Amino acid sequence: MTSALLSQYRIMVIDDQAYTRKLITGILRENGALSIIEAEEGASALKMLRATGGASATVPHVIVCDVNMEPMGGLEFVKRLRESENPAARKVPIIFLTGEARADIVAEAIDMAVEGFILKPVTPVKLITKIKQVLSLPG
């Protein structure tokens, strides 16, 4: 049964692996997400965010982003997003996906105000729990 938990939220998913994007978007849809924006890597995600024209009504409520991508990885994406001219985009909560929990990556991400981490493989419970925490949703 599909939940309506995320029906009011815009969520961006950035991952260079099509399988992972499909897995994440499937979990999000099962939890009611209606507005999901997908990007294959950081540069294309920034381009999509710029295309919104800075309108806060079209900026995602949360971004789920892989760390290791080419040509622009997650850390560079977050750095550029936080320096964006769009104040709404600068404040979007970020959840990093990573296959490795390296201390240097975690420290750098925390310095850039990344709100959460999920160690791959992604599961529905891990993803939805972290999104609820970041968006301050009950349960």
Measure the CA–CA gap between 14 and 62, rounded to whole angstroms: 11
pLDDT at 138 over 80: yes
Domain spanning 10-120: CATH superfamily? Response regulator (3.40.50.2300)
Terminal-to-terminal C-alpha distance of the chain: 18
pLDDT of residue 57: 63
DSSP 33: -
pLDDT of residue 85: 86
List the beta bridge partners of residue 119. Answer: 98
Confidence of residue 2 (pLDDT cuts 50, 70, 90): low
Confidence of residue 79 (pLDDT cuts 50, 70, 90): very high
| pLDDT 10s digits, 23-62 | 999 999 999 999 999 999 999 999 998 876 656 667 999 9
Strands (E), the chain: 10-14, 35-39, 62-66, 94-98, 116-119
**Spans of all domains in the chain:** 10-120
Confidence of residue 86 (pLDDT cuts 50, 70, 90): confident
Confidence of residue 87 (pLDDT cuts 50, 70, 90): confident
The length of the chain, given as a count of residues:
139
